[in-house]
Amino acid sequence: MHIDAPHPNCAYMWLNHSLDPKLQGDLAAWFGSVPSVPSACEGNELLGESGCQTNGIDNFDQISFWKTPTADCFGAGGECVPYHEWVTNYVAVIGGR
């Protein structure tokens, strides 16, 4: 949340709502995804008894989360890709160029 957010209490209420297990389960069922709240896998009518397994929750430990590159590259010895170049290449991949 931005440091100068005009309504931080509202933002926190929205964040809490978005993490509600019922909502997470319903969204996972609709998108065919895994909920970000593991308890949403239990007892959700739309997701069903095996919805989380069907959608791949058992593969969660195989996910590698990426980080946007930083200027220092964590001491990679000058092999950094400048941020503007990284963004250009990322957009090209997403756009299928």
Whole-number Å distance between alpha carbons of 21 and 68 = 29
Residues 55 and 73 occupy one common structural domain: no
Express each pLDDT in 15-56 by its tens digit: 999 999 999 999 999 999 999 999 999 999 999 999 999 999
Predicted TM-score (pTM) of the model is 0.62
75 vs 91, residue with greater confidence:
91
The parent domain of residue 46 ranges over 1-60
- Is residue 55 located within the same domain as residue 75? no
Using pLDDT thresholds of 50, 70 and 90, give the confidence band for residue 77: low
Same domain for 56 and 74: no
Are 70 and 56 found together in one domain? Answer: no
Domain count of the fold of the chain:
2
Answer yes or no: do 16 and 52 share one domain.
yes
Task: Say if residue 28 is in the same domain as residue 72.
Answer: no
